[in-house]
């Protein structure tokens, strides 16, 4: 009976020709690293002393309508998603319009430090799109995207939702101060 089945099978596939093999491209296309990846790499390569003061060297210029995004490793995806969608209440805002880069850097450092010390978690930075200056488009925006990842207190940022400023504003998630963590441990500790 098995011989009969083998013969039947051979007869059925006798006129079948094998498919021509196409070369499969297994090499992945390399994409250039995103702005956030570049910032993380720079941060990882620097020493703690170098990270104390934010730098303006090697700023990658962005387009006025680019969406800015950054997330530190270890931050939960759900937390980042809520930040990105603007689901957290905004506790403070700073407006950096019409400031020079030096003034903007100084004000941003002070603002983030103060928010961290006060225990504020979600804030916005209004940097503007910078689409009115054709010679230097998105200058402040590009520097904000470069400075924020250098600040240890910043866990993540993302361009705001359209109704809250869109690509001219970023939501910033600030890490908890050690004192806040201790309060939470005491509050939610062993029950």
What mean pLDDT is predicted for residues 137-165?
A: 95
Residue 28 reports pLDDT greater than 60: no
Full strand arrangement of the beta sheet holding 69-71: 69-71, 154-159, 169-174, 122-126, 92-95
Does 5 score more than 50 pLDDT? Answer: yes
Q: Where are the alpha helices (DSSP H) in 13-100?
A: 35-45, 48-52, 77-84
pTM exceeds 0.75 for this model: no
Separation CA 144–CA 61 (nearest Å): 10
| Domain spans in the chain, listed from the N-terminal domain onward | 66-185
Domain at 66-185: CATH architecture: 2-Layer Sandwich (3.30)
Which is more confidently placed, 84 or 130? 84
159 token code pair? 């361009």
For the cut 50, the answer to whether the pLDDT of residue 50 exceeds it is: no
Q: Write down the pLDDT at residue 173.
A: 98
Say whether pLDDT at 78 is over 70: yes
Q: How far, CA to CA in Å, does 35 sit from each of 4, 13, 72, 139?
A: 67, 56, 13, 15
Q: What is the DSSP string of 157-169?
A: EEEPPGGGTGGGE
For 165-182, what is each residue's pLDDT tens digit?
Answer: 999 999 999 998 877 767
Amino acid 68: pLDDT: 97
Give the residue-averaged pLDDT of 140-153.
95
**Radius of gyration of the chain measured on its C-alpha atoms:** 26
For the stretch 81-129, pLDDT in tens is: 999 999 999 999 999 999 999 999 999 999 999 999 999 999 999 999 9
């Amino acid at each position: 009976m098995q011989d009969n089945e083998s013969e039947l099978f051979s007869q059925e596939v006798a006129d079948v020709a094998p498919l021509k093999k196409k070369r499969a491209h297994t090499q992945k296309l390399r994409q250039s690293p995103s702005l956030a990846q570049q910032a993380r790499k720079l941060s990882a390569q620097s020493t703690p002393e170098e990270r104390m003061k934010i730098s303006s060297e090697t700023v990658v210029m962005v387009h006025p309508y680019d969406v800015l995004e950054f997330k530190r490793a270890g931050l939960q995806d759900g937390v980042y998603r809520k930040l990105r969608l603007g689901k957290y209440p905004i506790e403070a805002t700073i407006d950096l319009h019409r400031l020079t880069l030096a003034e903007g850097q100084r004000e941003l450092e002070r603002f983030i430090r103060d928010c961290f010390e006060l225990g504020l978690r979600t804030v916005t930075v209004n940097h503007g799109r910078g689409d009115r200056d054709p010679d230097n488009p998105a200058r402040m925006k590009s520097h904000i995207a470069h400075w924020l990842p250098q600040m240890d207190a910043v866990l993540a940022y993302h361009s705001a939702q359209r109704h809250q400023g869109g690509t001219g504003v970023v939501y910033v998630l600030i890490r908890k101060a050690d004192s806040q963590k201790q309060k939470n441990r005491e509050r939610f500790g062993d029950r």
